[in-house]
Amino acid sequence: MLRVILVEPEGEYNVGFVARLCKNFCVDELYIVNPKCDLKESLKFSAKGSSILENSVIVSNFDDAIKDLGIKIATSSIADYEGDILRKSIKSWEISDIIAKNDKIGLIFGRESVGLTREEISKSDFLLYIPANPAYPVLNLSHAVAIVLYEIWKSKGKIKKKQVSYNELKLIDRYTNILYHLVKKNNADYSLYLALKRALFKGVEDDEEAKIIISFLRKLYNKIIHEDKE
């Protein structure tokens, strides 16, 4: 179970965008602690995440938002201060190991203006930090949520990459080979065929892309044949 917790959010648009992100990345729960903005206005920015916002849990204090969680992960743009153990952090891409080993995870995001207090961070199990330009490391709230949720999404393996069917790959190979034989001057040109085939096989993402590539190769073949006849 994954819960996103917004602590005293101040911007209607950010809350709406976060609700939308929760929908994008299959977040189970959205908790909002003592909101400082108009949540009805936030609905305007939530798109198809409106149901997430409408079903969000509003609590008056921080403790109520975290009391039933297994692992609590606070976030901050200020981390790894020398000698400050509270600020020792994990990087955003390191979160997958934690997520994989635990359930009932809470991701805690602070106020747009001042972030989380030291007390709130101290009540969390981890402090997560998104590295950015040291001269200006502070991210917009919804942008930070997006980055963290994407890292979790990758670790869960919920994005199932589409595969290219065997038949489509065979057609790409066939037309690549035909074109090679049409333009080759000697056997050394075989490297052209191999390089092109490997590039296409590596680059094509799904059957839709494969069909477009096959169509292009077919048109190229027909054009060469037509010009040769002329």
SS3 assignment, position 63: helix
The token duo for 97 is 């190991």
Q: Is the pLDDT of residue 2 over 80?
A: yes
Instruction: Report the largest interatomic distance among the alpha carbons of the chain, rounded to a whole angstrom.
Output: 81
Tell me the sheet residues that pair with 129. 91
Per-domain residue ranges of the chain: 2-155, 166-228
Confidence of residue 193 (pLDDT cuts 50, 70, 90): confident
Q: Is the pLDDT of residue 172 over 90?
A: no
Q: Which helix (H) or strand (E) holds 108?
A: strand 105-109
| Mean pLDDT, the chain, integer | 86
Of residues 20 and 89, the one with the higher pLDDT is 20
Put the strands of the sheet holding 2-7 in their side by side order: 57-59, 29-33, 2-7, 105-109, 71-75, 126-129, 90-91
Separation of alpha carbons 207 and 224, rounded Å? 25
- What pTM, to 2 d.p., does this model score? 0.68
CATH class of 2-155: alpha beta
The single residue listed with the structure tokens 């052209």 is: 192
Distances in Å between the alpha carbon of 71 and those of 107, 126, 185? 9, 8, 65
pLDDT for the residue 37: 97
Separation of alpha carbons 21 and 202, rounded Å? 30
pLDDT-above-90 percentage for the chain: 45
pLDDT for the residue 58: 98
Tell me the sheet residues that pair with 74. 108, 127
